[in-house]
Structure 1
Amino acid sequence: MNKTFWLTLLTWIFFGIMIGAIVGSATALLLTVNDHLGETRENRPWFVLFLPLAGLALGYLYMKAGTSAGNELYKGNNLVIESVQGKGKMLLRLGPLVYLGTFMTILFGGSTGREGAAIQMGGSVAEAVNKLFKVKLIDTRILLMGGISAGFGAAFGTPITAAIFGMEMASLGRLKFEALVPCLVASFVGHYTTEKFWHVEHEKFIIATVPEVSALTFSKVILLAIVFSLVSVLYCQLRHGIHKLSEKYTMKNHTVRAFVGGLIIVALTYIIGSYDYNGRGLDMLEDSFTQDVPPYAFLAKLVFTAVTMGMGFVGGEAIPLFFVGATLGNTLHAFIDLPLSFLAALGMIVTFGGGANTPIAAFLLGVEMFNGKGIEFFFVACLTSYLFSGHHGLWPSQTIYEPKSRLYGVRKGETIKRTEEMKE
C-alpha cells in the first residue's frame, strides 16, 4: 500500500462525506415538503383538477431549461445511468428541477414517488463536486454512483441497501465494486444526515407473522415471486409504451404531453370514484399490511402511475411499485395460505426488485425494512423475480453487462431499450 493508495482512499472518503451530507440535507427537505404537500392535497382533493395546468407549467420548465438539453432532462434516472456509463453528461440543473417537478406532481395528485428525485439530486450534487474540485475523469463516474447511493439511502433509511444499489443500478449482471468506498460512505452519511441530524422519520412496515420454513412455503414464495415479477414487467411495458406514444403524437412537445396526461389522471380519478391512487398512496400502502384493501387497488395504482410518469410528470417509481406489490400481495391473501403482512411485504420488495433489476439491493431492502424477518424467503423471491422479469425494467438505459440467462438469447452490451426494440 503506497502513498497513492492512501491518498485516493482518503479522497474518496472526503468526497463521500461531502456528497452524503449535502444530499442527505436535500433529501430531508424533499421528504418534509412532500409530506406537507401530500397532506395539503388530501385535505383538498379538488386540487387534482389543477393537475393539467401543473403539467403545462412542468413541461414548459423542462423544455425551457435548455434547447438541446431539454429533452435530455426528461430522461431523469436514465440520464444519471448514462452518465455513470460514460454515454451521457450529468446536468447540474436536473436535481433542483426534478425536486420542483416532484412537488408539483404530488401537490396536484399525480401518482409518483420520491427515489427518482433523490437519485437525480444525488447525481447533480456529485457532478457539482466533480466540477468544483476538478475531479479526475476516472473518478467522476465513481462519485456519481456515490450520489445515487446517498440519495437512495436518505430517501428510504436503508444505507446498506443504498450502498449496493449505487453499484448495481447502472448495469444488469454486474456490481461496480470500484465505487464501493464512496457509495458506502455517501449512503451512510446521507442516511444519518436525514434521520439523525434533521430528524426526518421514514415509514415503518412490520411483518407480524413469518411463515414456517418448509418446501411447501418455498414453493408458494417462488410462485408468488413469478407473479410479482410479471406485474413489474406489465408496469414497465405500459409506462414505456405510454411514453413512446405520447412523444410520437405530440412530437416531443412536453408541455402538451403533461397537460394531456393531467387530463387523463383527472378523468381516471372521477371514473374510479376515489382519490386513493393519486399522490404517493402511503395510507393504503400501510393498510395493506393489516387489513383488506380493494382487490383492484394494485391495478388502479399501476395504471395511474404509468400514465403519470409516461406522460411527462416526474418523481419516482419505487413507492408506487411498493404500493402495487403490497396491495397485490394483500389481494392474493384470499387465495394463498400465508400471513397477510408477509404477503404484502413480499410483494412490496419483489415487485420493486423486478422492475429495478437490482436483486441484491432488493434483497437487502427487505432485510433492512423488516429487520431480517423472512430473510431466506426474500432471498429466493428476489432472485426468482430477477430471472422471470426478463430484460425489461424501469430504466431503458440500463446496460446488459451479463444476460440473466442464455435462455433469453440476449447479447451482452446492449441496453434494455435496444433489446426491447430488436424484439418488436
Structure 2
Amino acid sequence: MFKNIFSKQFALLTYLTRWAVIITPAAVTIGSMVALFLWLLNWAIHFRFAHAWFLYLLPAAGVAIHLLYKWYGKSAERGNNLIIDEIHQPGAGVPKRMAPLILVTTVITHLFGGSAGREGTAVQIGGSVANQFGSWFNLTESDKKIMLTAGVAAGFGAVFGTPLTGTIFALEVIAIGRIQYGALPACLIAGIVGDVTVSAWGIHHTPYHVDIVDTGQTLYNVHLPVSFWLLAKVIVASVIFGLVSMAFAGGVKLVKNYCLKWIRVSWLIPVCGGIAIILLTFILGKPDYLSLGVNAEYPGAVTIVSAFHHAGADAFSWLWKLIYTAITLGTGFKGGEVTPLFYIGSTLGNTLAEWMNAPVSLFAALGFIAVFAGATNTPLACTLMGIELFGGEYALFFAVACFTAYFFSGDNGIYSAQKTAVPKLIADESNYLKRMFSKYKL
C-alpha cells in the first residue's frame, strides 16, 4: 500500500515538475511581450492625448489594419476564437505571426482613438507563444491543448495583474458550464509567472478603490452579516448587467454583419467605422469614449476610475461606450472587448447606484466584473477578479452579481468558438416552464 501511495505521489511530483519546466520559459516570454505591449499602449494613448487631431486619421489607420491582415494575417484574423478552436480540437495550429500582428494593430487602433481593449491582444500573444513553445518541446496533442490553455492564462493574468483570474478564465472560457481541471496546475504556473514577469519589467496596473460599506443589517436587535435590502438591489442591478452584456455581444455582431452585407468593398468598412467614431465624438463634444477609457484625457473626463466616485459618470456613459466599441470592433479595428466591458459595467453601476440609492463604488465594482462575466460566460473567474482587484470583503456580492449576470446574458457571448457543455437553462426546467405557461394560458 505504501509503495503504491509513494508511486502516485512521485508521479504527481514528476508531472508538476515537467509542466513547470515547460511552462516557465513560455510564460516569461508571454509576460515580457505583454509588458512591451502595455508600455506601447500607454505611450500611444498619451501621445494621442497630446495630438488630438490624430483621431481624424482613424479611417486611414483602419485601412492599414485591414491590409496588414489581408496580406499577412490569414487565419490569425480569427483571433481569440482560433485559439479556443485549437484547444477544442488541434488543427493547423496558431500562427507565429498572430502575436506581432495583434500587438501592432492594437497599438494602431488606440493611437488613433479606436474604442477597444487589451485582453484580446494579451490572449493572442499568449496563444501564439505557447503554440510555438509546444512545437519546440514536441508535445502530444493533449499536451498542446494544455499548453495553449496555459498561454491564455499567462496572457490574461499578465495584462490585468490578476493571475488567479487568468488561471480560471483560461479553464472556464473554453466551454460554458464545464471546467477541465487537468490543465489547472499548468495554468496556475503560467498565470503567476506571467504576472510576476510584467511586474519585474516595472509595469504597474491601475488601482481601484471600493469604499468601506456596512453590508449588514439589524433585525429584531440581531445583527445579520448581510443586508437583504442591499442584496435585493444587487440582484436587480445584476439582471441589468446581464442584459447589457447580451446587448454588447449582439451589438458587435450586428455592426459586423450589417457592414458585410451592405458594404461591398472590404477596405471601406473600417473607413466607415472610423468616420462614424469621428462624427459621434464631434456630436457629443468630448473624447471620453475613445480608446481604453482608463486614463483621463482632461480633468473631469468619464473613465473607469472616475466611475468609482459619486457623479463620476453620465447617465448614459455606458451606452455610448457600448456603441463606440461595437462600431470599432465590428468594422475591423483590433483590440480586446474586456476593458470596454469594464468601462460599460462600472459606469452603468455608477448610474444604477445613483438611481437605487446604493453605494456607488461597490456598484461600480459589481458592474465592472458582472458585465464582463455575462459577456464571456465566465462567472467564477470574474468573481475571483473582484476579489483580486477590490478585496475579499464583498466576495458574496461579487459572486451574486457575476452569476446573476451570467444567467441573464443569454446563450451566447463575445466568443463564437465557445461551446456549450451545460446549458444555462436545463431542458427539464425549460419544459416545466412551458407546461406552466400552457396550463395557465400565459
TM-score normalised to structure 2 length: 0.88
Residue in 1 that maps onto 2:268: 256
Match of 2:59 among 31, 52, 59: 52
Question: Does residue 215 in structure 1 map to residue 228 in structure 2?
Answer: yes
Q: Over aligned residues, Cα RMSD in angstroms?
A: 1.7
Residue in 1 that maps onto 2:3: none
Residue in 2 that maps onto 1:416: none
Counterparts of 2:342 and 2:202 in 1: how far apart (Å)?
24
Counterparts of 1:166 and 1:266 in 2: how far apart (Å)?
35
Residue in 1 that maps onto 2:251: 238
Question: Does residue 37 in structure 1 map to residue 40 in structure 2?
Answer: no
Match of 1:20 among 27, 37, 44: 27
Question: Does residue 98 in structure 1 map to residue 102 in structure 2?
Answer: yes
Residue in 2 that maps onto 1:77: 80
Q: Structure 1 residue 259: deviation in Å?
A: 2.0
Residue in 2 that maps onto 1:354: 374
Counterparts of 1:390 and 1:407 in 2: how far apart (Å)?
15
What do residues 111-142 of structure 1 show as CA deviations (whole Å, max 9, x unaligned)? 01111000000000001101122111110010
Question: Does residue 266 in structure 1 map to residue 248 in structure 2?
Answer: no
Counterparts of 1:278 and 1:387 in 2: how far apart (Å)?
30
Residue in 2 that maps onto 1:287: 306
What do residues 315-365 of structure 1 show as CA deviations (whole Å, max 9, x unaligned)? 111110100011111112221121111111111110111101001000000
Match of 1:227 among 227, 240, 251: 240
Residue in 1 that maps onto 2:407: 387
What do residues 196-216 of structure 1 show as CA deviations (whole Å, max 9, x unaligned)? x11110011110132422111
Is this contact kept in 1: 2:28–2:194, CA < 8 A?
A: yes
Counterparts of 1:39 and 1:265 in 2: how far apart (Å)?
19
Which AA in structure 2 matches 1:317? E
Counterparts of 2:267 and 2:134 in 1: how far apart (Å)?
32
Is this contact kept in 1: 2:90–2:145, CA < 8 A?
A: no
Is this contact kept in 2: 1:58–1:255, CA < 8 A?
A: no
Q: Structure 1 residue 261: deviation in Å?
A: 1.3
Which AA in structure 2 matches 1:272? L
Q: Structure 1 residue 45: deviation in Å?
A: 1.4
Is this contact kept in 1: 2:90–2:141, CA < 8 A?
A: no
Q: Structure 1 residue 243: deviation in Å?
A: 1.3
Is this contact kept in 2: 1:150–1:186, CA < 8 A?
A: yes
Question: Does residue 187 in structure 1 map to residue 191 in structure 2?
Answer: yes
Counterparts of 1:250 and 1:327 in 2: how far apart (Å)?
33
What do residues 275-309 of structure 1 show as CA deviations (whole Å, max 9, x unaligned)? 11111111311111123121111111000001001
Counterparts of 2:115 and 2:254 in 1: how far apart (Å)?
17
Residue in 1 that maps onto 2:220: none
Residue in 1 that maps onto 2:144: 140
What fraction of aligned residue pairs are identical, expressed as a percent?
37
Counterparts of 1:361 and 1:408 in 2: how far apart (Å)?
27
Is this contact kept in 1: 2:173–2:378, CA < 8 A?
A: yes
Is this contact kept in 1: 2:76–2:94, CA < 8 A?
A: no
Q: Structure 1 residue 4: deviation in Å?
A: 5.8
Counterparts of 1:364 and 1:408 in 2: how far apart (Å)?
31
The alpha-carbon distance between structure 1 residues 87 and 144, as it changes in their structure 2 partners (threshold 3 A), is closer
Q: What SS does the corresponding residue of 2:309 show, helix, strand or coil?
A: coil
Residue in 1 that maps onto 2:204: 201
Residue in 2 that maps onto 1:304: 324
Match of 1:131 among 128, 132, 135: 135
Residue in 2 that maps onto 1:165: 169
What do residues 124-178 of structure 1 show as CA deviations (whole Å, max 9, x unaligned)? 0001101122111110010000000000110011111111111111110011211
Q: Structure 1 residue 6: deviation in Å?
A: 4.5
Counterparts of 2:179 and 2:68 in 1: how far apart (Å)?
35
Counterparts of 2:347 and 2:76 in 1: how far apart (Å)?
32
Is this contact kept in 2: 1:208–1:341, CA < 8 A?
A: yes
Which AA in structure 2 matches 1:285? I
Q: Which has the larger radius of gyration?
A: 2
Aligned residues: 404
Counterparts of 1:379 and 1:296 in 2: how far apart (Å)?
26
* Greater CA drift, 209-218 or 36-45: 209-218
* Greater CA drift, 284-293 or 208-217: 208-217
Could you list the runs of 5+ residues in structure 1 that have no partner in the other structure? Answer: 411-424
Which AA in structure 2 matches 1:57? A
* Greater CA drift, 365-374 or 400-409: 400-409
Q: Structure 1 residue 409: deviation in Å?
A: 8.6
